[in-house]
Amino acid sequence: MLAYIGRRLLATIPVMAVVAVFVFMMLRLASGDPAAIIAGNAATAQDVIDIRQKLGLDRPIVTQFFIWLGHVLTGDFGESFFYKKQVAEIIADRAGPTLALAACTLGLSVLIAVPLGVVAAYRHGTWLDRVVMGFSVLGFSVPVFVVGYALIYLFAIRLNWLPVQGYQPLADGVAGFFARLILPSLTLSVIYIALIARITRTSVLEVLGEDYIRTARAKGLSNRVVLMRHALRNAAVPIVTVIGIGVTLLIGGVVVTESVFSIPGLGRLTVDAVLARDYPTVQAVILLFSLAYVLINLLVDVAYTLLDPRIRY
Amino acid sequence: MSISRWLKTAVLAAVAGFAALSGTPNAQAQGTVRAVMHSDLKILDPIWTTAYIQRNYGYMVYDTLFATDADGQVKPQMIEHYEVSPDQLTYTMTLREGLLWHDGKPVTAEDCVASIKRWGAKDTMGQKLMTFVKDMPVVDAKTFKIVLSTPTGLVLAGLGKPSSNVPFMMPKRVAETSPNEQISDTTGSGPFVFKRDEWKPGDKAVFVKFDKYKPRAEPPSGLAGGKVVKVDRVEWKVVADQQTAMNALFAGEVDYIEQPQHDLLPLMKADKNVKLVDVNPLGNQYALRFNSTAKPFDNPKIRQAVLYALNQEDFLKATIGDPQYYKVCKAMFVCGAPLASTKGMDGLLESNFAKSKALLKEAGYDGTPVVLLHSTDLQVLTNLAPVAKSLLEKGGFKVDMQSMDWQSVVARRAKKDPPAQGGWNAMLTSWVSADILNPVSTAFLNASCDKAPFGWPCDTELERLRDQFARETDPAKQKAIAEAVQVRWTQYPTHVFLGQWYQPSAVRKSIDGIIVAPVPVFWNMTKSGA
């Protein structure tokens, strides 16, 4: 197992190298010039040239790439063109809200979706099953921003129970932290609840038809024990896969939710940086996301062996 | 208890619990004004860039020697008194007593001279002014002189310039930074102190009252007069989504939205806790900019045809919609402003397509497509280019409208390449009226070829008139020169002005004392209960 993990970690190096080249080149080839953006409306051509020079954008692209790569290899992602802050510092500031939102969403999704999926499978064909599946279809179909605005209207504007927007770090108070995360997490989790509940239902339904379930029932085990110990555990591999995919999608896919709820996270940082052509920030964030994807996939693969001893690497 | 009832109770209890724990969301410190500005504050140098958010930041943190009041008159601000020599070649400026930097050190004449030099190296009007300045000797800690080679009306007009770049005063050690380098020291002498430790780009910028600020005794008027701060703290919140900003305003989480979208204004108007305030009566002006170096707009006659093909109302209707918030105005230097005039404008901007086509024929227009840059992501600009395309085509032009995000437009407009190879012919933008009140400050009238902003018009007559305006000190004669500039512009168009539009701010009714000025400022503002 350790050898497998080691091999997988080594395999991330070429993946990250490809991502680095790809992101760097895409940004340079895309239209847009950070120097012209910084210079503003009344700038002369010379102003723009001066700023390009200051930012090092007047150098050949290959030279720029190797300078950047050299810095990245030493852990230096450079300085944001706009904020004049180290990119690592900006990302560290923005990672908290995104991770908190992702964790809350995931926790909420798993806590709601897995029991729903299990119950739907257990009550297969009944009204309960149809309600859960109906919710799943709705969850997939309604755009995130519509859910967000609807929840804001109900809980923040009409009832005035929760804040409309913003983020409060955990260090500033647990209540405020959760109060500001409830609506965005609920919004974002709708689609994941739908996805995980559907997969859980299908997977558990498949397992419930297996001989060992019939054997377990014949032994007189209670429904709860049959479902939790025998059915769910054997159905876990596809569920964990979907949760893993969900985590990776969550990290990169929180942009809309972060915008609707004005959460200063990595999603909005990425969009702002792309719009402003803040190359160092975009490059660092994409590299970070890619690394997260690779590591989460590795974790999911390792989790398979814990859930199903028959799986060996 | 049934499962459904239990579930319902549990959800309601959880939500109510959190609501109780977190307190009522709009229960905020009464002395704090939370504002959603038009943009995120990314750069902390209002001289290095002309962007409006940096200018607004500058007015919070820094002070100015002079300032423009509500009537457009330049009044002393940090200056106690000034004298002009009989030959109008020497201005002696004396600072007010008790002016302090945020670090507690006194503001000195040396600081001001260094600040004027840095501004003068960067700003269009400042550069013009500096061509007249022979020397700026420091007399004593509170007094300095500006010695000119030739009399000019630009000394007060420049130092009291209301909009970008504003000559903000900085400590000498900061002002000595090259104008091409960003400063990082945020020490000012303005009414607010910037809380750098609380600045979170993309989230918020925080300012607190500068307790040692010494306001003028006069009541506030425009950007002049006493800057008395009546709240403890101002937070600029970044709320990228306009709908969310509006919801936050309704819920009392923010107090002020600087530039709400026009289509949301009716909703805000209808809310009992919100009022709309037009803080900038001169508004903004739309403009179509020509690239005067590329075919077909390298020919002034073809640019004149555009003046006949376009009309202002179509643009204003398509972008702003509600006539309450726009005005058709044929005065280049802004209707309602001192230099407003419609001289030379007869028959122009009336969509006279026959005249446009006749001019094109006369000019030998060969059907070269006009590459028109279309910005798609800024609501106030998005609909301009399609209107321009339609009117230009009706006026006999072929138009190749290319759609892209605003930042791509900004990058593209800086390119002098031929339009077919990544260059451009025309683009549309908007100016705050305060930036375009005279021929010198209007960047698009700068016709100094390569030294002009993007579009690079090149006309010695326009430059001669702008220079003449700069030298003139008599307001009546200045107005005559401004009219001459406008007439010359009809023969050598550098851009087309496409009407004025107004941007009210949306404010909670608990906020009062908002200053009417071309820049949103936060002194004199009160919040109920503060």
Residue B160 identity (one-letter amino acid):
G
Distance from CA of A36 to the nearest CA of B (A): 5
Give B413 to chain A, closest Cα distance, Å. Answer: 9
A156–B182 CB contact, under 8 Å: no
Q: What is the mean pLDDT of residues A277-300?
A: 88
A232 or B388: which leads in pLDDT:
B388
Which of A32, A175, A269 minimises the CB distance to B202? Answer: A269
Of B18, B239, B244, the CB nearest to A162: B18
Determine, for residues A175 and B21 on separate chains, whether the beta-carbon distance falls below 8 Å. yes
Q: Which two three-digit tokens encode residue B110?
A: 């040396």
Residue B525, SS3? coil
CA distance B131 to B53: 28
Whether the Cβ atoms of residue A82 and residue B42 lie closer than 8 Å to each other: yes
Question: What pLDDT is recorded for position A313?
Answer: 66
- Compute the mean pLDDT over every residue in chain A, rounded to the nearest whole number: 87
End-to-end CA distance of chain A: give it in Å, rounded.
7
Chain B residues whose beta carbon lies within 8 Å of the beta carbon of residue A259: 240-241, 244
**Least confidently predicted of A31-35, A116-120, A170-174, A189-193:** A31-35
Please tell me the distance from the alpha carbon of residue B36 to that of residue B53, in angstroms, as a whole number.
11
- For residue A146, list chain B residues with Cβ-Cβ distance below 8 A: none
Stretches where chain B sits below pLDDT 70 are: 1-30, 529-530
Q: Do the Cβ atoms of B443 and A41 come within 8 Å?
A: yes
* Rounded-to-integer distance, Cα B25 and Cα B427, Å: 44
pLDDT tens-place string over residues B148-157: 999 998 999 9
| 3-class DSSP assignment, residue B402 | strand
Q: Which of residues 238-267 of A touch B (CB under 8 A)?
A: 259-262, 264
The two structure tokens encoding residue B364 = 């030998």
A269 contacts B410? CB cut-off 8 A: no
Using CA coordinates, name the residue in chain B closest to A274. Answer: B407
Residue B109 belongs to what H/E stretch?
helix B109-122
Q: Which two tokens stand for residue B398?
A: 């072929």
Confidence at residue B28, expressed as pLDDT on a 0 to 100 scale: 44
**CB-based contact, A85 to chain B, within 8 Å:** yes
The CATH T-level fold of domain B33-238+511-527 is D-Maltodextrin-Binding Protein; domain 2 (3.40.190)
For the cut 70, the answer to whether the pLDDT of residue A53 exceeds it is: yes
Chain A nearest-CA residue for B446: A42
Tell me the nearest-neighbour CA distance from A307 into chain B, angstroms.
31
For chain B, the first-to-last Cα distance in angstroms comes to 49
Is residue A82 less than 8 Å (CB to CB) from chain B? yes
Give A42's pLDDT tier (boundaries 50, 70, 90).
low
pLDDT in tens, A181-217: 999 999 999 989 999 999 999 999 998 888 888 898 8
The confidence score (pLDDT) of residue B50 equals 80
Instruction: Give the domain B284-501 fold.
Output: Dipeptide-binding Protein; domain 3 (3.10.105)
CA nearest to A128 within chain B: B4
pLDDT of residue A41: 67
Shortest CB distance from A262 goes to which of B50, B184, B241?
B241
Q: Which residue has the tokens 């990119």?
A: A87
Quick check: A111 contacting B, CB < 8 Å? no
- Pairing type for strands B192-194 and B143-148 reads unpaired
Give me the residue spans of the domains in chain B. 33-238+511-527, 284-501
Residue B254: closest CA among B504, B37, B18, B525: B37
Whether residue A43 and residue B50 make contact (CB cut-off 8 A), yes or no, is: yes
Mean pLDDT of A55-65: 88
B82 φ/ψ angles, rounded to the nearest 5 degrees? -140, 155
In this structure, are residues A116 and A139 in contact, taking their beta carbons and an 8 Å threshold? no
Helix H, strand E, coil C: the string for B410-467 is: HHHHCCCCCHHHCCCCEEEEEEEHHHHCCCCCCHHHCCEHHHCECCCCECHHHHHHHH
Token output for B396 = 């006999």
So what's the pLDDT on residue A304? 81
Q: Which residue is listed with tokens 């200018």?
A: B55
Minimal CA separation from B355 to chain A, in Å:
32
Give the H or E element holding residue B372.
Answer: strand B370-375
Give B44's contacts in chain A (Cβ within 8 Å).
84
A204 close contact with B: CB closer than 8 A: no
Q: CA A259, CA A164: separation in Å to the nearest integer?
A: 12
**Interchain contact, B202 vs A33, CB within 8 Å:** no
**Radius of gyration of the CA atoms of chain B, in A:** 25
- Contact by Cβ (8 Å): B359, B301: yes
Whether residues B201 and A85 touch (CB distance < 8 A) is answered with yes
Of A33, A42, A272, which has the smallest distance from its Cβ to B50's Cβ?
A42
pLDDT tens per residue across span A102-141 = 999 999 999 999 999 999 998 898 999 999 999 999 988 8
Q: Of B410, B417, B456, B458, which to mutate for an interface test with A (greatest number of A Cβ within 10 Å)?
A: B410
The span from the CA of B82 to the CA of B74, in Å, is 13
Question: In this complex, do B253 and A166 lie within 8 Å of one another by their Cβ atoms?
Answer: yes
Q: Are B41 and B149 spatial neighbours (Cβ–Cβ below 8 Å)?
A: no
Query: Chain A residue with minimal CA distance to B457?
Result: A44
Q: Do A275 and B237 touch (CB under 8 A)?
A: no
Residue in chain B nearest A265 by alpha carbon? B202
% of chain A surpassing 70 pLDDT = 98
Q: DSSP secondary structure string, chain A?
A: -HHHHHHHHHHHHHHHHHHHHHHHHHHHHSS--HHHHHH-TT-BHHHHHHHHHHHTTTS-HHHHHHHHHHHHHTT---B-TTT-SBHHHHHHHHHHHHHHHHHHHHHHHHHHHHHHHHHHHHTTTSHHHHHHHHHHHHHHHS-HHHHHHHHIIIIIIIS--S-SS----GGG-HHHHHHHHHHHHHHHHHHHHHHHHHHHHHHHHHHHTSHHHHHHHHTT--HHHIIIIIIIHHTHHHHHHHHHHHHHHHHHS-HHHHHHTT--SHHHHHHHHHHHT-HHHHHHHHHHHHHHHHHHHHHHHHHHHHH-TT---
- Rg of the Cα trace of chain A? 24
In chain B, the residue whose alpha carbon lies closest to the alpha carbon of A53 is B180
Q: Are B226 and B515 in contact (CB under 8 A)?
A: no
Q: Out of 1.10.3730.10, 2.70.70.10, 3.40.50.300, 1.10.3720.10, which CATH number does the structure's domain A95-307 have?
A: 1.10.3720.10
Q: Which two three-digit tokens encode residue B403? A: 């759609």
- pLDDT tens-digit series, residues B458-478: 999 999 999 999 889 898 999
**Cβ-based contacts of A268 with chain B (< 8 Å):** 202, 240
Interface of A with B in 155-184 (CB under 8 A): 155-157, 160-167, 173-176, 178-180, 182
For A269, half-sphere exposure in the C-beta direction (CA atoms, 13 angstrom radius) is 33
Q: Would you state the pLDDT for residue B27?
A: 40
Task: Indicate whether A40 pLDDT > 80.
Answer: no
DSSP assignment of B464-489 equals HHHHHHHH---HHHHHHHHHHHHHHH
Contacts 24+ apart (CB under 8 A), A273-278: A273/A80, A275/B377, A275/B405, A275/B407, A276/A34, A276/A37, A276/A81, A276/A82, A276/B42, A276/B407, A277/A27, A277/A30, A277/A32, A277/A33, A277/A34, A277/A37, A277/A81, A277/B407, A277/B411, A278/A34, A278/A80, A278/A81, A278/A82, A278/A83
CB contact under 8 A, A272 and B40: yes
Question: Is B407 in Cβ contact with A45 (below 8 Å)?
Answer: no
Q: Is the CB of residue A52 less than 8 Å away from at least one CB of chain B?
A: no
Give the per-residue pLDDT at A252. 64
Interchain contact, B25 vs A160, CB within 8 Å: yes
Task: Specify whether the CB–CB gap between A33 and A48 falls below 8 A.
Answer: yes
Q: And the tokens for A99? A: 């991770």
Question: For residue B64, which of B525, B524, B521, B526 has the smallest C-alpha distance?
Answer: B521
| pLDDT given at position A51 | 83
ipTM: 0.79
Cβ atoms B454, B414 nearer than 8 A: yes
Measure the CA–CA gap between A290 and A285, rounded to whole angstroms. 9
Report d(CA B83, CA B90) in Å as an integer: 8
Domain ranges of chain A: 17-73, 95-307
CA-nearest of B455, B373, B383 to B414 is B455
